[in-house]
A and B are shown apart, each in its own frame.
Chain A
């Protein structure tokens, strides 16, 4: 870490605090099933990507996560289909979420990595717990790398989200929440 002036450190702390609050509010929207509100946080040009994680040989770590250019991922899409998923969740007949699961997003280790004009690059870890019907429990642990964009009128928007889920063969039967 480089030595910063008191003013810079203060500004940085405020920014980090603001970003943390944004990510916590976002998590609350998902946990409280306010999916349409969550959709409003997505930039029109969002890229939402959850690669598949490979077991690769030492030295081939660049191949560990499937790429968006030519390979298959778990999620690799933009706002149109994400909003389709929101509409599906709101039908009341999307069976893996009817009745709704009890989902909790625990967001931690929030770090602002870079600031570039209106955009900030943020890394955070997640622990998503889902408990369903009588006794079905699923957990997802991983990390996210976001580009958040400041919109002077409507607040922060998610312009890019890379989700690295720490699993190879997925140990859940579906993804029925967002990350």
Chain B
């Protein structure tokens, strides 16, 4: 299928994204017709992160989430089963839930009082007997539920497409990476909870500025975050010049860019020269007693993984296609909200079993680091904000973006199958990988066209003809 964009002459999307030369049209970020296609082709199809089971601990608990532009309800029904529903009444469309979170027996629509159970079934319709004459089949008019949902080590993911592959297959080589993000500091699986609630705010810029920059734009840090060290926000205070990240003990490893060109997931993560886990280094120098906890849990983790290479499972951050960035301490969501607006969400993990003083210390650190009041993140917002309007002009759009940093300098490493590695300084390889997947999603007629992709470097045998994108960029 060839996808055209409307506007100034019909052009193939492939003309806009040239990954052989690393040149990408600005229209990919700012064109309204392309944006409308993204909602359908990407957000109607991909697996999206909705939330975490700790947000709905008890039967009846609910919290509002988002999938693309649309609001969903994450809920746990009275039998304990987790669901994701579109937040709209099947009668005339009113939002059935207008509270950010809480506990509900049922969702009663404030318009004409259709009533839904927490498992989505329509259980009450006024006048069902005397005016619908019992002819309305309630079983057909329950809340719209996602086609597939997956609880992955506590994190809740969903897709509207019944033909999407299983979530594990969707993750491919990033399975272990996502698992790591929800491990407690002692290495226990599904050992974290989220602090509540999410920070949510509007950033006037296309969703891809944030989403495609994270885990792939380390080149920005030196300039964008020039002012941050002055604030000394790290848990170590002003020690060693007041960095924003906690102190860590060295361990024989190298930070690299890992990209799944096939799946669009990417990371900036560690490749290890030896198995095991680094020693703990005291860093919470301003908060008495906090290091003791992390030191103890690190000892447990060291024993657990003494003989394992934790490639791609520690130290860094990663991005799951299309719009979820995460690490083992924070989750960043980039929800599309119109072509020129992003609704940005931040949530933060913490060990479920950590004592209160540890939870408090970490909570205060994430609040001063991240979000719209974050001493670090506020600098990013300004740059993403103004890159968008400055790309809108008729003349501006004649000049494509440059994605050439590190072009053709990635390589495969047999220790880490399924990804290419860039380990020679800053690279935009991870942004190119997402743009490559972007083209595939935008063109695909269905999941059959984009999955299964080549596994273990081998082709699935399906022709991917005429795509103009070399497999060796």
Contacts and interface: CB of A to CB of B under 8 A. Distances in A.
Contacts of A52: 197, 199
Nearest to A87: B230
Interface in B333-385: 343, 348, 356, 359-360, 363-364, 366-368, 371-373, 375, 378-379, 381-383, 385
Contacts of B198: 72
Interface stretch (A9-17, A123-131, A165-173): A165-173
A94 B367 contact: no
A133 B99 CA distance: 36
B228 interface: yes
Contacts of A93: 226-227
A142 interface: no
Interface string A111-150: 0000000000000000000000100000000000000000
A57 B99 contact: yes
Contacts of B33: none
Contact of B382 (A71, A88, A174): A174
B257 to A, nearest CB: 25
A174 B348 contact: no
Contacts of B237: 80
B202 A81 contact: no
Task: With a 10 A CB-CB cut-off, give which of A72, A76, A90, A171 has the most chain B CB atoms.
Answer: A72
B interface, by DSSP: helix, strand, loop or mixed? Answer: mixed
B381 A174 contact: yes
Given A95-B382, A173-B381, A81 B233 contact: yes
B373 A75 contact: yes
A74 interface: yes
B195 interface: yes
A173 B227 CA distance: 18
A7 interface: no
Interface string B180-220: 00000000000000011111111110000000000000000
Given A54-B101, A55-B99, A174-B372, A96 B379 contact: yes
A interface, by DSSP: helix, strand, loop or mixed? Answer: loop
Contacts of A173: 201-204, 372, 381-382, 385
Interface residues of A, number: 38
Interface string A84-120: 1101101101111000000000000000000000000
A156 to B, nearest CB: 25
Nearest to B367: A76
A175 B227 contact: no
A171 B227 contact: no
Nearest to A58: B99
A54 B62 CA distance: 14
B398 interface: no
A72 B196 contact: yes
Given A60-B102, A76-B364, A173-B201, A70 B359 contact: yes
Given A72-B363, A77-B364, A170 B372 contact: yes
A87 to B, nearest CB: 4
A50 B372 CA distance: 12
B224 A71 contact: no
Nearest to A176: B378
Contacts of B360: 70
A54 B226 contact: no
Given A85-B375, A88-B228, A91-B226, A72 B202 contact: no
25 contacts: A52-B197, A54-B100, A70-B359, A71-B196, A72-B195, A72-B198, A72-B199, A76-B363, A81-B368, A84-B230, A87-B231, A87-B232, A88-B231, A88-B375, A91-B227, A94-B227, A95-B227, A95-B379, A95-B382, A169-B201, A170-B201, A173-B202, A173-B204, A174-B378, A175-B378
Interface of A: 50, 52, 54-57, 60, 66, 70-77, 80-81, 84-85, 87-88, 90-91, 93-96, 133, 168-176
Given A76-B364, A85-B231, A95-B383, 19 more contacts: A52-B199, A54-B101, A54-B197, A55-B100, A56-B100, A74-B199, A81-B233, A81-B368, A85-B375, A88-B230, A91-B230, A95-B224, A168-B200, A172-B202, A173-B202, A173-B385, A174-B382, A175-B372, A175-B378
Interface of B: 98-102, 195-204, 224, 226-228, 230-233, 237, 286, 343, 348, 356, 359-360, 363-364, 366-368, 371-373, 375, 378-379, 381-383, 385-386
Closest 9 CB pairs of A and B: A84-B231, A170-B201, A94-B227, A95-B382, A174-B378, A91-B227, A96-B382, A175-B373, A93-B226
